[in-house]
């Protein structure tokens, strides 16, 4: 199979890569670009561990082909912190211990970032519905919801 | 395998028509990529239609709405005009998958995946939606209900693409609604579902009705007797009971782990009643 040459923007940086036409963006990010914050849970769009923001839309990178990223903007968890300064969501996930094994965490952080960008003051119900595409088998979700609420408060005050 | 992103619908049709082996159309990919991953399909050619500009638009025309085949369901929910005119269609499209899936999935994809449990399809059939099909022989417009012919099968010929879903301009005092039953609060596949679309006269009497059931047969069911049971009267308790009874009788569902035949038939009636009540209220009926 001939490779597809792709020019895209990832976390603000111009990136070029070659990928196979049937290769998912998840595999490109992890295996070709070393962005291992995106995780493969199910590989079928059910668990949200591979969530990214593609041109301002939250999507599962396992359901996107690497070739489709041509000319688009990709955001992953690696772009959330500024140097040593964590994003408020990352800080609050730590403070609230909103993770145990951590596999789902990058997906939750990106999904929560997208949620707060579109709705800066969500109710608990809106958070729970907004994050329903992300599965966590450890925390029972309560700590995650509280961390997102707390981060929303911090970000509103900023 | 080849991946091609044509810039015009004519090029897309040409690629599909001229392909040898398995060709697949890629819009949102939320069904196609899952099938590829599972090894159920190995396309030799993928035609990504998202770079075709007119396919990514919702257009409001003198006749109503045209929803391009590449418009993700999330965008349907953000269109105030569409939501106001066809709230039932939008609420059905918004039930498909998670936020992540909403950002990619399309109603044309939902239709062409041809699952009997597809959420947007009963709402579109109730709405009387049509599909604009482009193929090697030109353009044709067909009712949405004639696209799926069985689970996973469509009436589309080789080289044909649905470019848009067309919804009529609304008559005054019209409303639609869609409801499904799932055992959870969201993120699940319909066990059974109902879409109802009504137009009323100034006294609240139903003058036009379309009732469609999902996951109740191998393809979506347009239940004409259910419409007949409520046309010419107000949607009162007696009319709702008749509606439920006709829907109960019209179902030809399967028995599986998600629901028995008996359960699906009963719930189809209940959902038709509830969706009917909501559509009636949206049309201004009291």
Q: Do A22 and B36 touch (CB under 8 A)?
A: yes
Using an 8 Å CB-CB cutoff, list chain B residues near A1: 1
Task: Render pLDDT for A15-68 as a digit per residue (tens, 0 to 9).
Answer: 999 999 999 999 999 999 999 999 999 999 999 999 999 999 999 999 999 999
Task: Render pLDDT for B77-86 as a digit per residue (tens, 0 to 9).
Answer: 999 999 999 9
CATH C-level class of A88-157:
mainly alpha
Residues belonging to chain A: 158
DSSP E strands, chain B: 2-4, 23-26, 45-48, 58-61, 64-68, 130-135, 138-143, 148-150, 153-154, 161-168, 174-181, 192-200, 206-214, 221-222
Nearest by CB to residue B100, choosing from A48, A67, A68, is A48
Task: Render pLDDT for B225-264 as a digit per residue (tens, 0 to 9).
Answer: 999 999 999 999 999 999 999 999 999 999 999 999 999 9
Structure tokens belonging to residue B17: 């028509």
Q: Do B37 and A43 touch (CB under 8 A)?
A: yes
pTM: 0.96
The pLDDT value recorded for residue B18 is: 97
Using an 8 Å CB-CB cutoff, list chain B residues near A70: 5
Q: Is the pLDDT of residue A158 over 80?
A: no
The pLDDT value recorded for residue A157 is: 84
Closest CA relative to residue A13, chosen from A75, A57, A70: A75
- Cβ–Cβ under 8 Å, residues B157 and B135: yes
Nearest by CB to residue B30, choosing from A45, A114, A129, is A45
Give me the torsion for CA of B264, B265, B271, B272, rounded to 10°. 150
Q: Do A58 and B100 touch (CB under 8 A)?
A: yes
The pLDDT value recorded for residue B286 is: 86
CA–CA min distance B29, chain A (Å): 6
Look up the ipTM and state it: 0.95
Chain A: residue nearest B43 by CA?
Answer: A22
Sign, CA dihedral A126-A131-A135-A137, equals: negative
The pLDDT value recorded for residue A1 is: 60
Distance CA B116, CA B148 (A): 9
CATH superfamily of B174-281: CO dehydrogenase flavoprotein, C-terminal domain (3.30.390.50)
Q: Average pLDDT in the A105-114 region?
A: 98
CATH number assigned to the domain with residue range A4-79, chosen from the 4 options 3.40.350.10, 2.60.120.200, 3.10.20.30, 3.40.50.1820: 3.10.20.30
CA–CA min distance A40, chain B (Å): 13
CATH 3.10.20.30-classified regions of chain A: 4-79
Structure tokens belonging to residue B47: 């035609």
Q: Which fold has domain B2-49+57-168?
A: 3.30.465
Task: Give the residue extent of every domain in chain B.
Answer: 2-49+57-168, 174-281
Q: Do B36 and A62 touch (CB under 8 A)?
A: no
CA–CA min distance B250, chain A (Å): 33
Report the residue of B36, B56, B98 to disrupt the A interface, i.e. the one with the largest count of A CBs within 10 Å: B98
Residues of chain B with pLDDT under 50: none
Q: Do B104 and A44 touch (CB under 8 A)?
A: no
Q: Is the pLDDT of residue A73 over 70?
A: yes
Structure tokens belonging to residue B82: 């569409």
CA–CA min distance B203, chain A (Å): 38
Q: Supply the mean pLDDT for chain A.
A: 96
Q: Do A63 and B187 touch (CB under 8 A)?
A: no
Q: Do A133 and B50 touch (CB under 8 A)?
A: no
The pLDDT value recorded for residue B211 is: 98
Three-state secondary structure readout of chain A: CCCEEEEEEECCEEEEEEECCCCEHHHHHHHHCCCCCCCCCCCCCCCCCCEEEECCEEEEHHHCEHHHHCCCEEECHHHCCECCECCHHHHHHHHCCCCCCCCCHHHHHHHHHHHHHHCCCCCHHHHHHHCCCCCCCCCCCHHHHHHHHHHHHHHHHC
């Amino acid at each position: 199979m001939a490779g597809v040459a792709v020019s895209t923007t990832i976390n603000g940086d111009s990136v070029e890569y070659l990928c196979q036409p049937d290769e998912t963006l998840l595999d490109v990010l992890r295996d070709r670009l070393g962005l291992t914050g995106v995780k493969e849970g199910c590989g079928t769009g059910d668990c949200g561990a591979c969530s990214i923001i593609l041109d301002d839309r939250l999507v599962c990178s396992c359901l996107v082909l690497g070739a489709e990223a041509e000319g688009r903007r990709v955001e992953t968890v690696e772009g959330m912190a500024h140097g040593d300064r964590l994003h408020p969501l990352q800080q609050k996930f730590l403070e609230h211990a909103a993770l145990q094994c951590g596999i789902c965490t990058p997906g939750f952080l990106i999904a929560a970032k997208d949620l707060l960008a579109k709705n800066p003051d969500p109710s608990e119900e809106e958070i729970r519905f907004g994050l329903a595409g992300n599965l966590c088998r450890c925390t029972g979700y309560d700590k995650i919801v509280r961390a997102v609420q707390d981060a929303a408060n911090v970000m509103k005050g900023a | 395998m080849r991946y091609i992103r044509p810039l015009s619908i004519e090029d897309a049709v040409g690629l599909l028509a001229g392909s040898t082996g398995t060709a697949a159309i890629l819009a949102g990919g939320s069904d196609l990529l899952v099938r590829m991953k599972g090894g159920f399909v190995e396309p030799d050619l993928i035609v990504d239609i998202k770079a075709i500009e007119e396919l990514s638009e919702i257009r409001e025309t003198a006749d109503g709405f045209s929803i391009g085949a590449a418009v993700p369901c999330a965008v349907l929910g953000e269109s105030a005009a569409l939501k106001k005119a066809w709230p039932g269609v939008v609420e059905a499209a918004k039930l498909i998958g998670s936020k992540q899936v909403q950002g990619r999935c399309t109603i044309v994809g939902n239709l062409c995946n041809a699952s009997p449990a597809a959420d947007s399809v009963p709402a579109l059939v109730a709405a009387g939606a049509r599909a604009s099909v482009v193929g090697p022989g030109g353009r044709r417009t067909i009712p949405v209900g004639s696209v799926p012919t069985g689970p996973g099968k469509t009436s589309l010929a080789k080289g044909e693409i649905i470019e848009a879903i067309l919804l009529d301009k609304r008559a005054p005092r019209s409303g639609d609604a869609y409801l499904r039953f799932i055992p959870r609060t969201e993120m699940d596949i319909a066990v059974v579902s109902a879409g109802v679309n009504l137009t009323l006269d100034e006294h609240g009497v139903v003058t036009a009705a379309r009732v469609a059931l999902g996951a109740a047969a191998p393809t979506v069911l347009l239940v004409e007797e259910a419409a007949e049971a409520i046309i010419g009267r107000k949607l009162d308790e007696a009319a709702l009971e008749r509606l439920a009874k006709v829907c109960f009788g019209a179902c030809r569902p399967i028995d599986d782990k998600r629901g028995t035949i008996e359960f699906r038939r009963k719930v189809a009636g209940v959902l038709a009643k509830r969706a009917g009540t909501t559509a009636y209220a949206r049309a201004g009926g009291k």
